Amino acid sequence: METFEQTLVLIKPDGLKKSLTGNILTKLSESKLEIAGAKVIRVSKALAEEHYYELKDKPFFEELLTYIQGKLHGEHYERVLALVYTGEDAIKRVRQIAGATNPEDADPTTIRGAYGRITTKGVYENVIHASSNPEEAEREIKLWFEPQEIVYDLYPKEEKVLNNVKKLVWK
Ligand code: DAT
Ligand code: MG
């Protein structure tokens, strides 16, 4: 049975620097999924750490933070394009099109297989991020997006008053 899901995609700084945004979005459109949110964002160290917290004990963690912050690709590329895709089996469909984590292992017809590389320092520059399960997708979408930046009611939210201004936040 297919299930309606949502998933976070990040086009990483190498994808932006290599001018791959159009190619990647075209490739992802094969999934027949829908884009429910999109924005360009500068990645702080704190956001990078939070996003990859499960890998904090890995030897490549610091390099990974440097990479996702765009600090390997020049000041101009200190950014990522963040997207939320929704639809049937969204998580699996996007992961299939993205390809294996290690770009050398990834099928050459996938995004990572076609465009990724491993740097001489051992960083997997694999062009995109894609959530790998529903729990991870929920955590990541709530981390990268505010409720009003997504066109669907994906998760419970509540109104908070901050400096006399009403704001919707994730519950
Ligand atoms: P994925 O991005 O396919 O979900 P992951 O969650 O295991 O893979 O790891 C997150 C990122 O960390 C991955 O996109 C690239 C980097 N990474 C993972 N394993 C690595 C390794 N052995 N050497 C270098 N970078 C690695
Ligand atoms: Mg992962």
Whether 60 is in the pocket of ligand 1, judged by its Cβ within 6 Å, is yes
What residues make up the domain containing 104? 4-149
Mean of per-residue pLDDT scores for the chain: 97
Whether 70 is in a domain gets the answer yes
Ligand 1 pocket mutation, candidates 101, 126, 135, 136, criterion most atoms within 8 A of CB: 101
Q: Which helix (H) or strand (E) holds 24?
A: helix 21-29
> Mean of the pLDDT values across residues 40-57?
98
Whether 129 is in a domain gets the answer yes
| Nearest ligand 1 atom, CA 131 | 4
Kindly calculate the radius of gyration of the chain based on its CA atoms and give it in whole angstroms.
Answer: 16
pLDDT at 1 over 80: no
**Whole-angstrom Cα distance, residue 143 to residue 138?**
8
Q: Which helix (H) or strand (E) holds 138?
A: helix 134-144
CATH of the domain at 13: 3.30.70.141
> How many domains does the chain fold into?
1
In this structure, are strands 4-11 and 128-130 parallel, antiparallel, or unpaired? Answer: antiparallel
Atom 1 of ligand 1: nearest residue by CA position = 101
Q: Is the pTM of this model over 0.95?
A: yes
Whether 159 is in a domain gets the answer no
> Mean of the pLDDT values across residues 58-68?
97
Q: In the structure encoding, which two tokens stand for residue 110, read together?
A: 């996938």
Residues in the chain: 171
> Mean of the pLDDT values across residues 135-147?
98
- DSSP assignment of 36-73, as one string? EEEEEE---HHHHHHHTGGGTTSTTHHHHHHHHTTTTS
Task: Please report the pLDDT score of residue 44 as a whole number.
Answer: 98
